[in-house]
A and B are shown apart, each in its own frame.
Chain A
């Protein structure tokens, strides 16, 4: 395909640009560079002759307009000549569209951006905390109201959620706890063998699994699995305006959407954690048998000496609290979804990160509390 171009000449002391060929976006890069090289200084009179232009598109028209404007800006009188009738409209339209447009945000220095970023993050943190606390309060009020009239609790929905967040999570929670038990037994045996204290591997497994790991593994998996599902479910309902419809019908989204999920999780997480404990101990016992030759009978006897029922309860008492935190954050993030599907994705991620973070914080708080109480 022929390229567009132009020749420069001087007629009676005036600059004449004679354009030819197609002035289209395909030729634009070369034309752009060539026109940029044109020296506009000291030209009193400039003429653009368009008689030989074959085709013109808006990119070509823009280059012509830009050149005319630059020559005029340098003090030249400008004119166009032999403009084909069909192209005059386009030139006029492009000239009319020469208005400033902000293409990007004003650029600031790195320090400015850093300070701005820290400021925003701080503000967001406090706003989030405040909003989540508010949501917590609202939920508690609705729970109390529901306890006063238990008939209002959606039993079917609660049971269905119990199946999804409890029963369906058992295989993955069990497998992971089992493996954690195996790993602790293996690592503990390696270290304790140096002191000839292999038998205390059982104490290590018993205490760590029952007090901390069983419930933590269960809580983290449920946060990743069910907390995110809560956000995605409620968020999608928000996008589809189902939540608006619930409110418009005079119903309470917290009672309808949050409470069944909350109760389901508070009931099932302790059970899931108990299951995780059993699987963790099983993994530990199996590894003790293979690595340390501790028979299952000996394992149970040593376990009986090492842990008491208190150890189990210290672990399990945390489960309902973790469940509450995970369900609260999951539902809160879901209700925070606004408008687009993109926001569902963003808040699902946020929900998982926040709920795991809060679970860890609460766990640390429990540790401090128990050490004060001497448990």
Chain B
């Protein structure tokens, strides 16, 4: 698979008040890879994700997604661009007044209105099955679901329009170890069969080890990208503490 970048971030600057979160950050996300973004609290992992998907306007820098300028796209182009990625927020962010099936169908109704109601139902059924929800989950409301099921339903909604890029914000946070491992393998499985590029913010060392091709470490307002081996060789004290700490040693089997 040709390693063309699907997301290209250059010289990104984000600040809130006098606090600079990102300062000249560069990042390439390559097609078909799973990239995990890690960093200490307050280093702007979620801010980076929100900036790429257009929920946060950076102070400076450029962002290209699928070869198009995401920051200066017109309204119609920005809307179209959004159909090429799916986002799973931390708690699933399902619309609480809609059932799971209706949640999955929202993007189809909004962005692909030519799809017939029958096909829409079939596709909703397909996505619900793909993410491994129970057969009776479709008619349930988010309040009737457990945390893990909410995330799966959120994933089904993110996949509704068959996006090329999937953004995940701490997908395994709040899941028990078994649920987290299941979710990891689900993401890996979907990534391979649907040919997705996955951009994942995470704290979960097991996920990093299990499914990430490359790891991006946010540090000193910049980002260092590399494989796990690269990071293990990095002498930076925070990187060493993160990847060689007691928890990491167990998770990574190092």
- Indicate if the CB atoms of A29 and B119 lie closer than 8 Å: yes
Does B193 lie at the interface of the complex (its beta carbon under 8 Å from any beta carbon of A)?
A: yes
Q: B101 near A104 (CB under 8 angstroms)?
A: yes
Could you tell me if B126 and A94 are in contact, using CB atoms closer than 8 angstroms? yes
B56 within 8 Å of A (CB atoms): no
Residues of B within 8 A of A93 (CB): 130, 189, 193-194
Which positions 118-140 of chain B face chain A at CB distance < 8 Å? 118-119, 121-130, 133, 135-139
Within 8 A of B (CB), among A26-54: 26, 28-29, 32-33
Q: Interface size class for chain B?
A: 20 to 34
> Contact at B194–A101, with CB atoms within 8 Å?
no
Q: Which residues of A contact B114 (CB under 8 A)?
A: 29
Contacts of A26 in B (CB 8 A): 112
> Are B159 and A103 in touch, CB under 8 angstroms?
no
CA distance A102 to B125 in the complex (A): 8
Q: Tell me the smallest distance from the CB of A14 to a CB of chain B, in Å.
A: 27
Contact B162 A89 (CB under 8 A): no
CA distance A317 to B229 in the complex (A): 80
CA distance A29 to B123 in the complex (A): 12
Indicate if the CB atoms of A33 and B126 lie closer than 8 Å: no
- For the complex, count residues of A whose C-beta is within 8 A of B: 30
Given A101-B135, A101-B138, A103-B101, residue A32 in contact with residue B129 (CB < 8 A): no
**A98 lies within 8 A of B130 (CB):** no
Tell whether, in the assembled complex, residue A99 and residue B122 are in contact, meaning their CB atoms are under 8 Å apart: no
B185 at the interface (CB under 8 A from A): no
Q: Is B96 in contact with chain A by the CB < 8 A criterion?
A: yes
The one of B101, B126, B195 in contact with A62, judged by C-beta atoms closer than 8 angstroms, is: B126
Q: Kindly state whether residue A314 has any CB partner on chain B within 8 Å.
A: no
B136 adjacent to A102 (CB under 8 Å): yes
**Residue picked from B159, B162, B194, most chain A C-beta under 10 Å:** B162
B99 on the interface (CB 8 Å rule)?
Answer: yes
Contacting pair A100 B99 (CB below 8 A): no
| Contact residue among A24, A32, A66, A99 (Cβ-Cβ distance under 8 Å from B116) | A32
Whether A28 pairs with B194 at a CB distance below 8 angstroms is no
Determine the distance from Cα of A25 to Cα of B163 in the docked complex, in whole angstroms. Answer: 10
Residues of A within 8 A of B194 (CB): 57-58, 90, 93
How far is it, in angstroms, between the C-alpha of A57 and the C-alpha of B193 when the chains are bound? 9
- A102 touching B122, Cβ below 8 Å: no
**Complex Cα–Cα for A105 and B146 (A):** 19
Q: Which residue of B99, B112, B116, B130 contacts A97 across the interface (Cβ within 8 Å)? A: B130
- Interface-central residue, B121, B125, B135, by most chain A CB under 10 Å: B125
B161 interface residue (CB < 8 Å to A): yes
Shortest Cβ distance from A361 into chain B, in angstroms? 32
- Residues in A neighbouring B145, C-beta threshold 8 A: none
Cβ of B241 < 8 Å from any Cβ of A?
Answer: no
| A103 B124 Cβ-Cβ under 8 A | yes
Asked if residues B193 and A62 are in contact (CB atoms below 8 Å), the reply is no
Residues of B within 8 A of A (CB): 96, 99, 101, 112, 114-116, 118-119, 121-130, 133, 135-139, 143, 159, 161-162, 189, 192-195
14 pairs of residues in contact across A and B, judged by CB atoms under 8 Å: A25-B115, A25-B161, A26-B112, A28-B115, A57-B162, A62-B122, A62-B123, A90-B194, A92-B193, A93-B194, A99-B129, A101-B129, A101-B135, A105-B139
* A residues at B contact (CB < 8 Å): 24-26, 28-29, 32-33, 57-59, 62, 66, 86, 89-90, 92-94, 97-105, 339-340, 342
